[in-house]
């Protein structure tokens, strides 16, 4: 199970890039790889968000961005890791992986241009016992596309995975559903809060102030 410990949370994040990819992800072929001021396109359309996402993801996966992180453990109730990826001083991605007790884990990713998020991916997983020897994972994935600090498209995918069951669910076969975009305030507040810890290098106890 991905929720037993923070180690499991970390293992779940290894496949985060493929799971969080925007629907019909774009390519970054035409985007400059040299000057970070030109690296990301002006984001005016959802297609621009997909291209910018593809660029950031490729740079992170190839190890071409600077990174830093810190851990926290709030009395064993909530623990996690916050990672920052930047390019020549410009923040490109914040990834917050965390768990609460032993039955919930999450990965929140904020893709950044000019200091503001343009794509946010929330991957939340809660597990519970179904019967002796069997558990289930209830997964909720949310994708929020933003232009000029305003959500322009919001998608959600929900599915359940059971252990010890034949024909396991393949998340890639489940369609995203477009939903009404709710207030950006909780997302913006969490993003602003995490940005304040960008220079943090030492591990902390509690990380108060997040939703």
Average pLDDT, the chain: 83
- pLDDT, tens digit, 9 for 90 and up, residues 8-43: 333 343 444 445 667 654 443 334 444 444 567 789
Hunting for tokens 């997909």 — which residue is that? 50
Buried/exposed 194-203: b ≥16 CB within 10 Å, e otherwise: beebeebeee
Q: What is the pLDDT of residue 162?
A: 85
Calculate the alpha carbon distances from 23 to 20, 53, 131 in Å.
9, 11, 35
Residues 4 and 211: their CA atoms lie apart, in Å, by 21
Token pair recorded at residue 26: 């774009």
Whole-prediction pTM: 0.81
- pLDDT, tens digit, 9 for 90 and up, residues 87-117: 999 999 999 999 998 889 999 999 999 999 9
Q: What is the pLDDT of residue 33?
A: 43
Segment among 36-45, 69-78, 81-90, 110-119 with least mean pLDDT: 36-45
């Amino acid at each position: 199970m991905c929720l037993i410990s923070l180690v499991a949370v970390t293992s779940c994040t290894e496949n985060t890039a493929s799971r969080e990819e925007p629907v019909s992800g774009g390519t970054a072929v035409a985007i400059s790889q040299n000057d970070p001021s030109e690296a990301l396109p002006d984001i005016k359309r959802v297609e621009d968000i997909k291209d910018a996402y593809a660029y950031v993801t490729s740079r992170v996966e190839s190890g071409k961005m600077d990174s830093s992180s810190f851990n926290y453990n709030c009395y064993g109730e909530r623990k996690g890791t916050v990672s920052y990826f930047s390019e020549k001083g410009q923040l490109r991605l914040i990834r917050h992986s965390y768990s609460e007790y032993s039955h919930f884990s999450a990965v929140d990713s904020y893709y950044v241009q000019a200091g503001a998020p343009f794509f946010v991916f929330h991957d939340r997983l809660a597990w519970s016992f179904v019967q002796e020897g069997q558990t289930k994972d209830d997964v909720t994935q949310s994708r929020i596309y933003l232009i000029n600090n305003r959500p322009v498209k919001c998608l959600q995918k929900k599915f359940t995975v059971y252990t010890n069951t034949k024909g396991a669910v393949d998340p890639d076969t489940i369609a995203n559903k477009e939903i009404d975009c709710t207030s950006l305030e909780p997302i913006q507040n969490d993003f602003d809060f995490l940005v304040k810890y960008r220079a943090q290098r030492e591990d902390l106890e509690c990380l108060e102030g997040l939703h």
